[in-house]
Structure 1
Amino acid sequence: MTETMHDRMVARTRQLLKETLLLMMEETGFSDVTVRDLTLKANVNRGTFYLHYRDKYDLIEQMEDELLVGLQKNMNSLNYQEMLECSKLNIPYSPLVEVFQYLKANGRILKSLLGTKGDPAFSHKLKLSLNNGIFEVLNDRIHDPSIPNAYVSAFATSALLGIIEYWLNNEMRQTPEEIALIYLKIKFYHLQ
């Protein structure tokens, strides 16, 4: 019983530190955050911070890794052929809707990490995560030996990231279903 209570306290402290870092990133930017300021704002002892993280870079890296692991889990269920079929029928593809639901649920942190006050390296990490999703399959669909697979993946990844960033920066006005359908229409426009 004590271990369970301890685990909950650890989880609460870690969540508090993450939320406080996110707030400070929105206010001043990650580069201006110090562990001292972070712990003061979170009302957490610096020693407690160091029980959980080496420094602010470790904290943000763990936040990013958690986010990307969750995204990858959602991306793993995507199927190129099923996406194409849904596009032809003009209906949202459920696994892609789930990806956008996950992105929406994590929209605040994504927007902060990708923004000018966030982590400049995160965009590259996100592209790698997206590329390891459905875009490896896309390479098999293009039968032009003059186009190296790496360029196909780079194009597809950048296109999806562009849609995600635009959606996030415009207050995610479209529902996950709507944005998934928009993405499908753009992705398979040449086949319609």
Structure 2
Amino acid sequence: MNEKLDRRKRYTRMVLKDSLMTLLKSKALSGITVKELCEHADINRSTFYTHYKDQFDLLRQIEEEIIADMNTYLNQHNFEEKEQALQTTERLLEYIVSKYDIFYTLLNENEDTSFERRVMEVASNFLINNWMNDDEIDQANSEYLSTFIISGSIHVIKLWLARNMDKTPHQIAQIINRIALNGINNCYVD
């Protein structure tokens, strides 16, 4: 009986997440009501409220899940080797492909950029901790450099998603890593 209940919960959460992503493609989160969300998901409002407080809570939980997945994934890899960095970036892009609708929607939502900021924080922490450990790049400069690299990378990914992933994850990973590594290797302050 518990397995059936767990499956039902997973299904309910899945259709609510999918419905929110679909609705976010055509309107801002503030314009989406719980009633509209439930109608789109074909569930009743009381079921919605057993899982989430409101549509903002649902979006927050979707974002939390993605950020946790990214952190878990990035913690499994060694960024010190250039080839490993390329493979890690490629795998991360493959993860983005597997969650295309979510990333495309959340990175392009005009109303709130909290997801983009959170993705940038995760990536920046890993970039500073794993690629910018050179003594010649002081902490203040590494923050500027990581912000520049991560912002550019996010926008490359947004463009790639907007172009319906017209290049392979490997090709985009090469572009991002080449820019990142060249920026890091050439950022020595006199």
Q: Aligned pair 1:162/2:155, yes or no?
A: yes
CA-to-partner distance for each residue in 1:55-112, whole Å, 9 max, x for gaps? 11110000001111111222224434312xx39xxxx832221111001111211111
Query: Relative to 1, partners in 2 of residues 1:179 and 1:134: Cα closer, same or farther, differing over 3 Å?
Result: same
Residue 16 of structure 2 is matched in structure 1 by 17
- Please name the residue that 2:123 is paired with: 130
1:143 maps to 2:136: yes
Distance 2:129 2:92 in 1: 17
Distance 1:31 1:117, change over 3 A: farther
Structure 2: gaps of 5 or more residues: none
1:112 aligns with 2:111: no
Q: Distance in 1 between matches of 2:62 and 2:14?
A: 10
Q: For residue 186 of structure 1, what is the amino acid of its counterpart?
A: I
Q: Which moved more, 1:131-140 or 1:106-115?
A: 131-140
Q: Return the alpha-carbon distance in structure 1 between the equivalents of residues 111 and 4 of structure 2.
A: 33
Determine the C-alpha separation between the residues in 2 that align with 1:104 and 1:116.
Answer: 18
Does structure 1 residue 30 correspond to structure 2 residue 32?
A: no
Aligned: 1:94 with 2:87? yes
State TM-score, norm by structure 2: 0.86
State the superposition RMSD in angstroms: 2.3
Distance 1:5 1:153, change over 3 A: same
Question: Is the Cα contact below 8 Å between 1:25 and 1:117 reproduced in 2?
Answer: no
Once residues 138 and 87 of structure 2 are traced to their aligned partners in structure 1, the CA distance between those partners, rounded to angstroms, is: 33
Contact 1:39 1:49 in 2 (8 A): yes
**Pair 1:55-2:48 in alignment:** no
Tell me the matched-pair count. 185
1:19 deviates by 0.4
The structure whose RCO (Cα within 8 Å, separation 6+) is larger is 1
* Counterpart Cα distance in 2 of 1:167 and 1:188: 20
Query: Which deviates more from structure 2 when the two are superposed, residues 104-113 or residues 46-55?
Result: 104-113
Q: Extract unaligned runs of 5+ from structure 1.
A: none
Secondary structure of the corresponding residue to residue 143 of structure 1: coil
Q: Name the residue aligned to 1:183.
A: 176
Contact 1:114 1:123 in 2 (8 A): yes
* Identity across matched positions, percent: 26
Retained in 2: the 8 A contact 1:30–1:118?
yes
Give the CA deviation at 1:144: 4.1
